[in-house]
A and B are shown apart, each in its own frame.
Chain A
Amino acid sequence: MADARVTAERFAKGMTFDEYLRYVGSPENLAREAFGGVYLPDGGAAHGGPRKDNSAIFRDRYAKARLTEQQAAAIKWLAAQPNGPAKILVISEDWSSDCRRDVPWLARLAEAGGLELRIFNRDGRKVLGQRRPDIAKYPDSSHDLMVQVLKKDERGEWASLPVAVVFTKDMKELHRYIEFPAIYRKDWVRGQQNAARPGESADQTKDRAAKDFLALQASPFFDIWASAGIDEILSGLHERVLGK
């Protein structure tokens, strides 16, 4: 992330995790568009949809999230190093299963290491309808932040969530984590779930795939991946603090 764009003042404008928990269930949040369920070919959403109240899921996942003793020791050690991690900027939208999986664990990581965590919505009232964030088109969003942390691969770049950017005390970027840990091969898993089974109609496939995905989110595997996200961040920070 270009350091000049994330000043201490801008960072301080984000929500703490407690504030975010309250915000997720607030009328203000629920009045915003959520992802409508269909991606455009360029990576944006075809249309917005109504936002569900996901605050109970966040609270419940936070209550149950537990770092291992060694994960807690590792973040404490890192935070104590000169130029170690001190702040985590998170960009999130509660309609995203990846955010519901990881944000409560990121809050636990920040607590364990004594790091300051601030959460920003990606979107304003309207869901991002295109691949590239555009602060001029969506002035009430955090697209100015999002555009600096796009996910990039052979398919191009897009505004994946969540994003967690770890900074030193003086806002020097140390590590960024985007969307999901490498061991969660989500695109492949979702592709398999969305594939038609013999004899299914298109509607049956859609219903069954949605149920399969919900079951996955309620399964212990969701926490395996959340915890693996923490391992990935800690390992990335370890390399960075060592000077790699």
Chain B
Amino acid sequence: MTPERFAKGMTWDEYLKFTGSPENLAREGIDVRRGMGVLERRLDWSGYLRDRYANARIGAAETSSIRWLAAQPGGPAKVLVICEDWSSDVRRDIPYLARLAEAGGLDLRIFPRDGVKIVMKGLPEPGESPNADLMREYANEKNGQTFATIPVAVFFAKDFTELHRYVEYPFVYRKERLYGHHRAPRAGESAGETRARAGRDIGAMFDSPFFDVWAHGAIAEIISALYERLVIGGHRG
């Protein structure tokens, strides 16, 4: 990561405008409430993101912590975010990441992961989309495989030393387990009924206060990891 490359990312305000733009809406999307099928045109999430940002609150301890961390030598100064608005994990976390950056005076830049087409498997090929290089650099390595998981939030010092990388969701949100529960057929349901009911249940979960509890959990996780890195002097294993 270089200062020039980082500066090419969108600020939070620019990203909010971009999500509702014809350019963005013409790109492929997914609506997990309807399953994992690719939509030719994505939904407009800009109003939803604005609303979540307006309601997102960073508490006194979080604010003091990130300010204190940012004031340390080698402390966090920049946040690179790779995301796509069709992802519920992105919609959950990025308004809070924007608030965290504001509270700490950090420069936050957002890069869309995909081009016009969605990356459905593995990693994007180099040159496949404008930010394929970033996604490849900050890929999620899990069980010996690499994934283009989003969101990714990479915290850097002023000189672009990487301090911490947050990927997808916090520890407290056991997403696979919850999705598995919602998607399991209930007694007497047809496959179509299961799909429709699971979509409603997952949508209700996004609208519940737990979505914000998990966003809050992500901020706590990030602050805790930055504390370990800067104060204790170690990497999170």
From B64, B174, B208, B220, A239 is in contact (CB under 8 Å) with B174
Residues on the A chain within 8 Å of B225, using CB: 183
Asked if A228 lies at the interface with its beta carbon under 8 angstroms from chain B, I say: yes
Q: Flag if B217 contacts A235 (CB, 8 Å).
A: yes
CA distance A69 to B58 in the complex (A): 11
> CB distance B214 to A224 under 8 Å?
no
Known A-B contacts A185-B228, A192-B234, A244-B177; A231 and B216 likewise in contact (beta carbons under 8 Å):
yes
Q: Would you call B206 an interface residue if the criterion is a C-beta within 8 Å of the partner chain's C-beta atoms?
A: no
Q: Which residues of A contact B213 (CB under 8 A)?
A: 68, 70-71, 74, 231, 234-235
Question: What class of interface size applies to chain A in its complex with B?
Answer: 20 to 34
Q: A70-B212, A221-B65, A244-B181 are in contact. Are A232 and B172 (CB under 8 A)?
A: yes
B 199-217 binary contact with A (CB < 8 Å = 1; else 0): 0000000001110111011
Q: With a CB–CB cut-off of 8 A, which chain A residues contact B233?
A: 192
Q: How many Å from the CB of B1 to the closest CB on chain A?
A: 26
Residues from chain A with Cβ under 8 Å of B173 in the complex = 235
Is the CB–CB distance between B234 and A69 below 8 Å?
no
For residue A220, CB closer than 8 A to chain B, the reply is: yes
A138 lies within 8 A of chain B by Cβ: no
**Interchain CA distance A242-B180 in the complex, whole Å:** 12
Q: Min CB distance, A83 to chain B, in Å?
A: 16
Contact of A228 among B68, B217, B228 (CB under 8 A): B217
Indicate whether A227 sits within 8 Å of B59 (C-beta atoms), given known contacts A192-B232, A235-B217, A244-B177. yes
Q: Which 9 A-B pairs have the closest CB atoms?
A: A223-B61, A70-B212, A73-B209, A220-B64, A70-B209, A228-B220, A231-B217, A235-B172, A220-B61
28 residue pairs A–B, Cβ–Cβ below 8 Å: A69-B209, A70-B213, A71-B213, A74-B210, A77-B208, A183-B171, A183-B220, A185-B228, A188-B228, A189-B232, A192-B232, A192-B233, A220-B61, A220-B65, A221-B61, A224-B62, A224-B223, A227-B220, A231-B213, A231-B220, A235-B173, A235-B210, A235-B213, A235-B214, A239-B178, A242-B178, A242-B181, A244-B178
Give B contacts to A, CB under 8 Å: 57, 59-62, 64-65, 68, 170-174, 177-178, 181, 208-210, 212-214, 216-217, 220-221, 223-225, 227-228, 232-234, 236
